[in-house]
Chain A
C-alpha cells in the first residue's frame, strides 16, 4: 500500500486554482500506482471548498486547522506536513510551485532529508521511480531527473497541469491541530493584497507584455486598456529593459531574471525578443507578437505576428477584444 499526498493552497478560505492542478496531477500518479490520494489543506478554519478536491481525484481531503494557519506559517506548516508524511509513509508528495509552495516544499524536503524536484512541468511514473522534467536555464533546456527512493517530493509549476474533473467519493475531515512547539519564529504579519482587480503575471490566463517599443512609461496605459478588455483575465507584463529603466515594477518582469510564465495566451508588444525574455515566455500556449521590425527575433517564437505601429494596432485590438468579452 502506498499513498500520494497533494498539498493544496488556500487564501482567505478559498482554494487557489493551482490546487486543482496539483490534485489532478497527483491523481495521475495515484492511478498508475493504484495508490490512494490524500489532499491536504492548512487553514485557519474549516475550508468549505476543500471537499472540491474530491471532484478532481482525491480519495481523502484533510484540512488541518490552527489560528496560525490563517496565513502562511512556514515553520509550523512544514513541521505538521513532514510529520504527516512520515507517519502515513507517503511515497509521493506534491506541492504547487507558487511563492508559498516553493518555500514550504523546500522546508518539508529538508526536514525529511530528501531531494526536492522543484518547478516540475511533466513527469512519468515508472516502476522504479518517478521521472520528472523541469525547465532549467530559464527554459532554454529541460532537465530530466529520476527519484528512485520514496518519498519523492515535487513542486509543480502553476498553469502547466490541467485541472481535470475525475470525481471520487472523497472522505473529508477537518482536524484542529495543536502546535506544541508554537507557531514558529517566522510570522507573516500581514498580507498586503495587490490592487483590486489586479491579477498576477504568473497566474493570469492572458499576459500582455510591453517593451522599449512603448517608448515611455505612460504608454503602458494602452496595454492596461487591452488587459481590461479581457474582463479581469489579463495581466500586464514587461521586458527587462523597461523594468531596469524603472518604467514598470520588477514584479511584472517576464524573463530569465523575472517571472517564467506559461499562460494560454501571451501577447508581446514592442518587445524585440532578447533570448532572456524568450526564456521566460516560450512555454506559453499561444504567442502573439506586435512589432514594427519584421525581423525581430520575437516573430521566430510567435504563433501569430502583426508587423506595424503598435500605437495604431493596440486601440483596434482593444476594441475587438471588448466586442468578445465586453
Chain B
C-alpha cells in the first residue's frame, strides 16, 4: 500500500499571536513550531496501514519554507519512508493554490491513499484535502474518526453535528482525519537517528496570482473586563440575577 501524508509546520498551540510589522502575517520571532496536531493522526494512520499490509511506502509531503524540513524529519522519525518538501517562501491564504501545488506533486494514480489532518491549526482553512481530491478526481471523506479498509473499499465514520455519518468510498481516495482516529506514536531515538538518513527531496514551487487578498491580521477584540460575583455557593443567586437582568441570557 502506497500512502502519501500531507503535513504542515504550524505554530504550537501555546503560541501567543503577535502580528508582524506588515500587519498581515504572524510575527514568528520566539514562536515554537510543531507538526500540525491533526497531521500526526494522519502520519500514524499511514504507518499503521503500511505495517498491517506488511509492505508499501509512506511518503510525507509538506508545502512550506525550508524550515519545514524539520517538520518532515519528525514524520520520518515516526517511521515514514521518505519526504518531499514543496519549498516556497510563503504559504498562500488561498487554499486552492496550495491544493494545486499538492495535486501536481501527488499526481493521479500514484498513491492508494492520500492522508491529511482535518485542518491546520494556523489558518483553519479546512479545505485543501477536498480541493486536492477534486483536482485529482478522487473520492474524498473529511474529518474521519474511524476507518476500516478492506481491499479496495473503505468505510469511514465522520462526526457531524449531533451524529456520526458512516461513509463508504472506493480506493484510491483522499481522507482528512480527526482526533480520535488513533493515538500517534512518539519518535523513538532510533527513529530520530534513522530519519537523518532518509531521502528528502526539495522541490521549489511558485504560485500564480490569487483573487484572495489578505487585508490585515489583527488581534481579536479584547473582552470587557469581567468581575468576580462572589465566593462559594452563596454567590449563586447574585450570578443568576446578573445573567437574567444584565446579560439577559436566561
Contacts and interface: CB of A to CB of B under 8 A. Distances in A.
B33 interface: no
A213 interface: no
A189 B166 contact: yes
B124 A149 contact: no
Given A286-B249, A305-B226, A144 B216 contact: yes
Contact of B179 (A135, A191, A257): A257
B217 interface: yes
Contact of B226 (A119, A304, A307): A304
B93 A143 contact: yes
B13 interface: yes
B6 to A, nearest CB: 15
Interface string A225-265: 00000000000000000000000011101011110000011
A214 interface: no
Contact of B165 (A102, A190, A251, A253): A190
B240 A139 contact: no
Contacts, number: 269
Given A145-B212, A306-B228, A185 B139 contact: yes
B210 A141 contact: no
Nearest to B224: A303
A286 B229 contact: no
B166 to A, nearest CB: 4
Contacts of B131: 106, 109-110, 116
Contacts of B231: 306-308
A278 to B, nearest CB: 10
Given A186-B139, A251-B159, A265-B243, A107 B130 contact: yes
Interface stretch (B56-64, B94-102, B189-197): B94-102
A301 B125 contact: no
A116 B95 contact: yes
Given A109-B96, A145-B213, A187-B168, A199 B224 contact: no
Interface stretch (A51-59, A215-223, A311-319): A311-319
Nearest to B160: A99
B142 A103 contact: yes
Interface stretch (B14-22, B47-55, B70-78, B79-87): B14-22
A48 interface: no
A309 B239 CA distance: 15
Nearest to B18: A141
Given A106-B127, A115-B210, A307-B231, A100 B160 contact: yes
Best-surrounded residue of B123, B160, B211 (most CB of chain A within 10 A): B160
Interface string B177-188: 011100000000
Interface string A285-326: 111100000100001111111111100110111001100100
Judged by DSSP, the binding face of B is mixed
A111 interface: yes
A274 to B, nearest CB: 8
B233 A147 contact: no
Contact of B162 (A74, A142, A200, A320): A200
A299 B226 contact: yes
Best-surrounded residue of B14, B15, B170 (most CB of chain A within 10 A): B15
The list of the 3 closest CB pairs from A to B, nearest first, reads A110-B134, A106-B130, A106-B127
Interface of A: 16, 71-72, 74-75, 78, 98-100, 102-103, 105-107, 109-111, 113-119, 131, 134-149, 184-194, 198-200, 202-203, 249-251, 253, 255-258, 264-265, 274-276, 279, 282-283, 285-288, 294, 299-309, 312-313, 315-317, 320-321, 324
Given A140-B219, A313-B233, 15 more contacts: A99-B158, A102-B126, A103-B130, A116-B131, A118-B95, A138-B124, A143-B123, A187-B168, A187-B169, A189-B166, A189-B168, A190-B165, A250-B145, A257-B179, A288-B239
